[in-house]
């Protein structure tokens, strides 16, 4: 198992983690690992829900049909345009 030393932890975060560890009867190290795992699990859950939503939208959009090269080019251009507008904030 890898070891890592955290530096420059804000006092408020340290105190909150220490208090949570005491309430949960865990060491500070165990509490930090527990919290990190929870944050990653939460992120995974959100992504899974988003992917499920995309699948449902695709299924509800109607029967599959062959994709034409012009449709693919138009979808790609639309995606690039959206990405550029997000980057510039327009």
Domain ranges of the chain: 11-63
Looking at residue 10, its pLDDT comes to 95
CA distance 71 to 50: 24
Looking at residue 89, its pLDDT comes to 67
Looking at residue 1, its pLDDT comes to 83
Exposed e or buried b for every residue in 61-86, given b needs 16+ CB within 10 A?
Answer: eeeeeeeeeeeeeeeeeeeeeeeeee
Tens-digit pLDDT profile for residues 12-71: 999 999 999 999 999 999 999 999 999 999 999 999 999 999 999 988 988 888 889 999
């Amino acid at each position: 198992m890898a070891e890592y030393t955290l530096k420059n932890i804000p006092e408020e975060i340290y105190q909150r983690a220490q208090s949570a560890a005491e309430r949960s009867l865990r060491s500070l190290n165990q509490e930090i690992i527990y919290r990190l795992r929870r944050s990653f699990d939460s992120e995974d859950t959100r992504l899974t829900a988003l992917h499920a939503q995309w699948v449902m939208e695709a299924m509800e959009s109607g029967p599959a049909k062959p994709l034409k090269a012009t449709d693919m080019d138009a979808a790609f251009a639309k995606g690039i345009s959206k990405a550029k507008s997000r980057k510039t904030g327009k």
